[in-house]
Every structure is written in C-alpha cells, then in structure tokens.
Chains A and B, each alone.
Chain A
Amino acid sequence: DADVTQTPRNRITKTGKRIMLECSQTKGHDRMYWYRQDPGLGLRLIYYSFDVKDINKGEISDGYSVSRQAQAKFSLSLESAIPNQTALYFCATSDPLGGGYTFGSGTRLTVV
C-alpha cells in the first residue's frame, strides 16, 4: 500500500455541488497538508494540520474546509464547488525533523 493514499483519483462535479477529497497516511506522522497544483503556479498550500485539534489555513484557504478525523486521516471539502477550483490536489505528510514531504498520487478535480 502507498504511504499516502488519496481518493478519488479523478472527479468531475458540477458547479455548486459539495465535494470531499480524502487522504490517509501510514507514515505515522502528525503533520498533514493539502496543496493544489495549477499550471505555471506550482503548488500552493490550502490547509495544514499538526493533530486533530490543530488546523491552520494556508495561503489559499477561501472556499475550502478541512477535517482531521484521526492522526492518519485528513479530508478536504469544497462546500460549493466553482470552476476555478478545477485543479490537481495533493495531500502530503511530513516528519518534524526537517525531512521533506511524502505526497499522495493526487486527485484531479474538474468543476463544470
């Protein structure tokens, strides 16, 4: 099994619909992150969490919410999807000792 698993891999949804992207990890790390990738913009941080009671906004949190259900699970929700939220979404986890991130395979979301 992958260290970081994201579901679904691909999703097409309609404007105004609520959608949840799920992420689970087996690394045993406390720190989890949600990024979105857009062409020419790289990856931008949406939300991050250090434990189930510690949720923090990133640079582009508007229109998104998250839930940390357990150490291993971190979900991203779009309450009312809009077309400019069409992007590739990545979940990641990191250790606290200075290492890099371990990324999931991504969720490609299209809002029509």
Chain B
Amino acid sequence: AQSVAQPEDQVNVAEGNPLTVKCTYSVSGNPYLFWYVQYPNRGLQFLLKYITGDNLVKGSYGFEAEFNKSQTSFHLKKPSALVSDSALYFCAVRDPMEYGNKLVFGAGTILRVKS
C-alpha cells in the first residue's frame, strides 16, 4: 500500500526567502504525486501534480515541485515566499495500478512566512 511522509510539522521562513516543504512517498509502482494547500477555514486547493514526463513541475501561485525517483521524494518549492503563502500543505500519492484511484495524504506541514 502507498504511503506519504511529511517529516516537518511546521516550516518557518522569512518573506522573500526560498521555501521548501518536504515529502517522501512509498508506492509499489510509478506514482502519481500531488500537492494541495489548505487556507484557514477553507477546503483543499490543488497546487500541482506529477504524472509523467519532466521531473520539475510547475503549479499555481509560483510553486514548483521536483520528482526524484531515486530518493522517492517530491519536495514543494518556491523561490521567494510571500506572507500570503502561510497555510497548511498536503502531499498526496496515488498508485495508478491500485483499484480505487485513491489518494493517500501525508499528515500535512504548516508553512509560516514572516514579514
């Protein structure tokens, strides 16, 4: 069965600095990988996904993520953080060979960007 680990409960960065939110995964086949963001009292919003192709994927709000198969990682990055990026971020994985199209989520990482 697939699983996702987000090793940091919280990441703190200063506005204007680069940010990284870490994610590692475990899946038997080739993974489909996703990042979602949740702002306070809101639902989850899709940021980006990796299905196949270029290992560097670009998404909404200037975020990008790099798929690293050898390290089984899919870290979320942004070159210059904004205070408005402060939110809860979830990494998720899906095994396309498994019945159900189910997404398995990590525990989430709180990102705090300070001005």
CA of A42 to CA of B103, assembled, Å: 12
**Residues in A neighbouring B92, C-beta threshold 8 A:** 100
In the complex, the answer to whether A42 meets B101 with C-beta atoms within 8 Å is no
Main secondary structure on A side of the interface with B: strand
CA of A56 to CA of B46, assembled, Å: 24
Contact of A90 among B4, B32, B44 (CB under 8 A): B44
**Residues in A neighbouring B104, C-beta threshold 8 A:** 45
User: For this complex, into which size category does the number of interface residues on chain A fall?
Assistant: 20 to 34
Bits for B41-64, please: 1 = Cβ < 8 Å to A, else 0: 011111001010000000000000
Bits for A14-46, please: 1 = Cβ < 8 Å to B, else 0: 000000000000000001010100001111110
Is B107 interfacial (CB-CB < 8 Å)?
yes
In the complex, the answer to whether B43 meets A105 with C-beta atoms within 8 Å is yes
Smallest Cβ-Cβ distance to B51: which chain A residue: A98
Is B25 interfacial (CB-CB < 8 Å)?
no
Is A94 interfacial (CB-CB < 8 Å)?
yes
Nearest 8 Cβ contacts at the A-B interface: A42-B105, A43-B105, A105-B43, A42-B107, A103-B44, A103-B43, A100-B34, A100-B46
The interface size of chain B toward A, counting residues with CB under 8 Å, comes to 24
In the complex, the answer to whether A100 meets B103 with C-beta atoms within 8 Å is yes
Taking each of A33, A35, A100, A102, which has the highest tally of chain B beta carbons within 10 Å of its own beta carbon? A100
* A71-112, CB < 8 A from B: 90, 94, 96, 98-106
Binding site for B on A (CB under 8 A): 31, 33, 35, 40-45, 48, 56, 58, 90, 94, 96, 98-106
**A106 with B43: in contact, given A42-B106, A98-B32 (CB under 8 Å)?**
yes
In the complex, the answer to whether A104 meets B46 with C-beta atoms within 8 Å is no
In the complex, the answer to whether B90 meets A43 with C-beta atoms within 8 Å is yes
Task: Quote the shortest CB–CB distance from B43 to chain A (angstroms).
Answer: 4
In the complex, the answer to whether A99 meets B49 with C-beta atoms within 8 Å is yes
